[in-house]
Amino acid sequence: MSDETMSMVEFIALVGLNMKVTQVPTRPDSDDEWTKNADHFLCTLNTSKRQMSVYYSKGEGLRTFTGKNIPWHLRAEIIKAGVKVGDSLGNRFARRTSYEDAIRKDCFVPIAPTLSEVLSSLTMDVQGVVGTLDYDEWAADYGYDVDSRKGEKIYRGIRRQASKLKALLGASFFHTLITNVEVES
């Protein structure tokens, strides 16, 4: 395999990766405060021979405007904010107090992650643990106290995902992914 840098899209095509996405109400592997309002997905990555599943979450600001079921009291706000059908929610509307009404009315809906997004996220996580000797070194690099149980749980979870990703891709493609592929941020 070449040491040339490639894009995530090129890598996905080279390996022949596919992904099935299912929206789920919660993710069992996290109880962080921000996940309570986030959109959660179970993503199953597969090649022709193997597969692995991971949870992926997107913050509530990463939803798209449907233009449907707009609560009457929000219509003027939406027009004033200049929100158009297909727009990402972003910060233009998310901080408004009546935003939760719009979510409940399906005015803004979750956007499923792409394979490139999910694989980029996995890659960044894995690059952080592959280059470290142990939890203490990783904790120091990522700002966790070496005595943090939460930090150690995250570290062990990423190590497990690294093993699954290596099994999915094979050692050669795994090495290419963590050393020669540009991740999307």
Range of the domain at 89: 63-110
Cα(88)–Cα(92) distance, integer angstroms: 9
- Residue at 90 is within a domain: yes
Residue 1 domain-assigned?
A: no
Q: Is 143 left (phi over 0), alpha (psi -120 to 50) or beta?
A: left
Is there a single domain that holds both residue 18 and residue 78? no
Answer yes or no: do 116 and 173 share one domain: yes
Same domain, 56 and 91: no
User: Looking at the structure, do residues 122 and 177 belong to the same domain, yes or no?
Assistant: yes
| Together in a domain, 38 and 123 | yes
Burial of 147 (0-12, 13-18, 19+ CB in 10 A): exposed
127 part of a folded domain: yes
177 located within any domain: yes
Are 45 and 134 members of one domain? yes
Domain total for the chain?
2
Q: Which residues of the chain have pLDDT under 70?
A: 1-2, 31, 71-72, 85-106
* pLDDT at position 2: 59
Residue 125 within a domain? yes
pTM confidence score: 0.81
Strand partners, 6: 181
Same domain, 93 and 176: no
Residues 134, 120 share a domain: yes
Q: Are residues 18 and 39 in the same domain?
A: yes
* Contacting residues for 79 by C-beta, under 8 A, at least 6 apart: none
Residue finishing a domain among 110, 126, 143: 110
Report yes or no on 145 lying in a domain: yes
First to last CA, the chain: 25
Same domain, yes or no, for 28 and 38? yes
pLDDT on residue 91: 47
- Give strand pairing partners of 56: 41
Instruction: Judge if 49 and 116 occupy the same domain.
Output: yes
pLDDT at 184: 84
| Residue 120 belongs to a domain | yes
Residue 115 and residue 100 in one domain: no
